[in-house]
């Protein structure tokens, strides 16, 4: 039997073919910023967390600039419960009083941020953890929401406490770090004009950072495969206008609406494409960036 037909040789050739197929995509993204919003199940599964860090390092080593923005809702909830601090939600957003925002900052900027950085460093990268308060990276004002009153008509102003709406993103901080071989890992905590602390939705922060850094791609890792049509099948690509139409007709609903709105905002502010994909899938970042058809739902301006 020829050596080339042995099992190890066949496996090696298959891996070589994979690398060859990926090369055009490596060239496409070489030197480009890719913002990855990391959250959901992938953060609480240790094996997925380790694999995610290794994938981020690989993306960096082949010439891209990954910028990681992370959430941490389940971990915040667990810590609040442990400290016996009650939480309430309005339209999916946590009402954040003074006691809660201290816990939010502790969990996001401390425990979670440094755990992600440690995983990236263990995988051979140079992760560096940042809060949005560092260097004026993220600045915000209080977010006020309108909500229909009991009569179904009158709009009431809802105060969510220390939940913020971004007013400025200093993208230069992140691009400078990325150009010097670091992998920035951002906790979505922002500062107000008076120095107060605001909790920012991680998807929203990732979208704003993608726009501020002229990112080629925004990847939102979620706990669903992407946008599904009326029959439950994955929609692989949508234009901004098509996405808006699906929101209007009710195909896109619930928690998917703010994610799509984040993607639309990013694309309309210069990001070439935004993707919603399933963070529970092994190596999903690599599958999205290095294969012809990607792995989630791509939102583009065209």
Q: Which residues are catalytic?
A: 37, 40, 73, 203, 259
Task: Give the bridge partners for 223, in sequence order.
Answer: none
Q: Furthest-apart CA pair in the chain: how many Å?
A: 81
CA 220 to each of CA 67, 152, 204, 232, 297: distance values in angstroms, whole numbers, following the listed order: 12, 33, 10, 20, 10
Cβ atoms of 76 and 108 within 8 Å: the answer is yes
Cβ neighbors of 129 (< 8 A, separation 6 or more) are: 109, 113, 114, 116, 117, 185, 187
**CA 295 – CA 234 distance, rounded (Å):** 10
Instruction: Look up tokens 């909790």; give the residue.
Output: 199
* Torsion sign, CA atoms 207, 211, 215, 217: positive
Cβ atoms of 181 and 59 within 8 Å: the answer is no
């Amino acid at each position: 039997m020829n050596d080339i037909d042995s099992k190890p040789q066949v496996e090696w050739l298959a891996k070589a073919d994979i690398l060859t197929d990926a090369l055009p995509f490596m060239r496409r993204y070489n030197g480009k910023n890719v913002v990855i919003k990391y959250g959901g199940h992938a953060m609480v599964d240790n094996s997925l967390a380790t694999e995610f860090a290794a994938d981020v390092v690989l993306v960096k080593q082949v010439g891209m600039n990954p910028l990681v923005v992370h959430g941490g809702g389940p971990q915040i909830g667990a810590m609040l419960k442990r400290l016996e601090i009650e939480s309430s939600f309005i339209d999916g957003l946590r009402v954040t009083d003074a006691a809660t925002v201290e816990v939010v900052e502790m969990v996001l900027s401390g425990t979670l941020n440094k755990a992600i950085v440690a995983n990236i460093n263990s995988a051979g990268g140079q992760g560096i953890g940042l809060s949005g308060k560092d260097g004026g990276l993220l600045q915000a004002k209080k977010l006020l929401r309108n909500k229909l009153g009991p009569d179904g008509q009158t709009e009431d102003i809802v105060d969510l406490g220390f939940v913020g709406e971004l007013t400025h993103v200093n993208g230069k901080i992140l691009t400078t770090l990325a150009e010097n071989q670091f992998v920035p890992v951002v906790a979505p905590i922002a500062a107000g004009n008076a120095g107060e602390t605001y909790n920012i939705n991680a998807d929203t922060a990732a979208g704003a950072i993608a726009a501020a850094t002229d990112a080629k791609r925004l990847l939102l890792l979620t706990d669903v495969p992407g946008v599904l049509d009326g029959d439950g099948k994955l929609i692989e690509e949508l234009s901004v206008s098509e996405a808006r139409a699906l929101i209007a007709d009710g195909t896109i609903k619930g928690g998917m609406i703010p994610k799509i709105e984040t993607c639309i905002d990013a694309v309309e502010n210069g990001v070439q494409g935004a993707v919603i994909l399933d963070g529970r899938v092994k190596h999903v970042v690599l599958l999205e960036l290095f294969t012809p058809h990607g792995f989630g739902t791509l939102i583009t301006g065209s």
